[in-house]
Structure 1
Amino acid sequence: MRAVVYTESGDSSVLELVEREPAEPGPGEVRVRIVRAGVNPTDWKFRAGGMGELAFPEIVPGQDGAGVVDAVGPEVTDLAVGDRVWTMLAQHQRPGGTAQEQVVIPADRVTVLPDAASYDLGASLGVPAVTAHRALTTSEDGPDRLAPGALSGMTVLVAGGAGAVGNAAIQLARWAGATVVSTVSSDEKGRLATAAGAHHVVNYRDGDAAAAIRDLAPDGVDLVVEVAPAQNLRLDVGVIKPRGTIAIYANNGGDEVTLSVRETFSTNARFQWVLLYTVGQEALRRAAEDITAAVADGGFGVGEEHGLPLHHHPLERTAEAHAAVEDGAIGKVLIDVGDH
């Protein structure tokens, strides 16, 4: 089988296409024939050495993918050969990710893909959708599961609604019944956030964003899904409702945050830090079930019409896919690994 590997940290040029024998699944594992793989910022950050030393001598990148189960190990009872599936955290604490034709994955990181869902959609879930689910389900006065009506009566502010996690947060929040406001930096990104389902879009480069959000939500927002706390936390504190939650999943605005203690105290708000790798198995299970339900219900999609343009690269050009994500491509970057 073909696989993309790297054996040292560096830029995308360290990625190499090789031939490898497919591994056999062990107890609690399945092997998936990958049709489509998703590329996330964590993929290039791991490859570039941003997460420390390489954990294995040779690594196949890729947490997310979609394909067909082609082998099942002992002790696996809820998946079968031929099942169409999507994956999460395929490379977490393992050397083999989804940028290869066949990958062995723990069964609890593999979820059956609804019949009507494309492999493009399946490969676009994983990191973005599970992160968004976590951000939407940790507030004091909100639900710990998502379903139609779960967020009814709540207002959710999604920072960076044109990004992959932002897009997923908008779609899931809208499906669960929230009123969704999204901040963006351009009219183009505003159109994408609206396509994803945002009821209101605020361009933070045009005037007073806090005032604009307060006009839309006079009592404040219940929940913020935040991508750039260093830049946005003062805005978030200014619009959060008492006992609201600011869920922070990235540091796009910088690594340091300054807070006014007095100003922040008055909000009675909580700050929820979201890192997918340590949220725990139960949170991952709930997310997989709820996201799959949203997909089956037609509440989650990909493509321009859903605010998430798709960019395809063949497996042998995985380096270009990594570079596109690193350069800030708008939409979802996918690797075409195998045939349907």
Structure 2
Amino acid sequence: MKVSVLALLTSCFSLLAITQLQGDVVTLKNGDSISGKVLEESATEVVLDSPILGKVTLPKEQVQKVQKDAEEETKETVEKTEEAEEVPGADIEPGMSVSERYWEAFTSAIFPKGFTGEFVLGYNYSESSDIQSGIQLGLKGKYVNGKHSVTGDVFYAYTRKKDADGNVTKPTDKHGLNAAYEYDIQDPFFFRASEKYLVDRVKKLEPQNDINALLGWRALDQEKLSLDFAVGPGARYQKTPNTSGEWDPLVTFLQSSFYQFNQSMRFDEKIDYSVDPSDTGSYSLLFEVSASVRLTSFAEPKIIYRNSYDSTVGAGGIKREQSLLVALAVPF
């Protein structure tokens, strides 16, 4: 009888020891369970280190479920949190990779709070009296502080031209700067002052400078949908081979909107119409629409389509032009 009790106690202690070692439990579809530590789990198999069977590889189609040890899961969670905290200055978000956290930390250290922007590199194709194609570089930024906001962008495009016969002419380029200041007067009204500077050797503009002071109205101002209208006076300076440069009065109408389709996809649209009040036949009209997809924190492909008509002196004989820009933006 004593031997039986001793054997029973030994069995109990052995079972208790195995239970302490088993940690994870893999339940098979046939009802069997195997205890141990899960070394690896993939879409095709589960590798388990069992204190009784040793290292076991189980096909995933035979596995009903894998139950991890609660203590081990807590430890893994703590380790992941500590790993995330090793990136100083990063805004940790669910699903954000280590490289994305480092990018967030890098940009947060360089740019002030409230500032956002993007670098743009793309290929531009345009048609007017001839065909142009080439590389375009750009830098955009926006700073918001309460009711005040400042936006700006610069770009440079290097293109090669083809005439109507398909002959390649010498390379040409254009570059410009756009800057604007906005102040929210009282919802839904705002004030906007802007300047557009452009050197376009295709249109023989060297340079063109537009200055505007606009009163705006936000018809829609939602998180995923926005629609703005603005109108006001301004002036335009143009210098071409035929003119020495002069300022002309200007009235500008601006309409812009955006639609945030989901967390990663966005559509933007803009109409910019400017006319000389002393000569209504002298005007410029621009329609622009774009679509972008945010793949990661530092990669956002986008497509921008522009269609413009310009009957001003500075059009250089080119009245209608349409272009398509396929670009990769790096947000910050």
Shared fold (TM-score greater than 0.5)? no
Q: TM-score, normalised by structure 2?
A: 0.24
Q: TM-score, normalised by structure 1?
A: 0.24
Q: Which has more radius of gyration? A: 2
Q: Which structure dedicates a bigger proportion of its chain to helix?
A: 1
Query: Which is bigger in relative contact order (C-alpha 8 A, separation at least 6)?
Result: 1
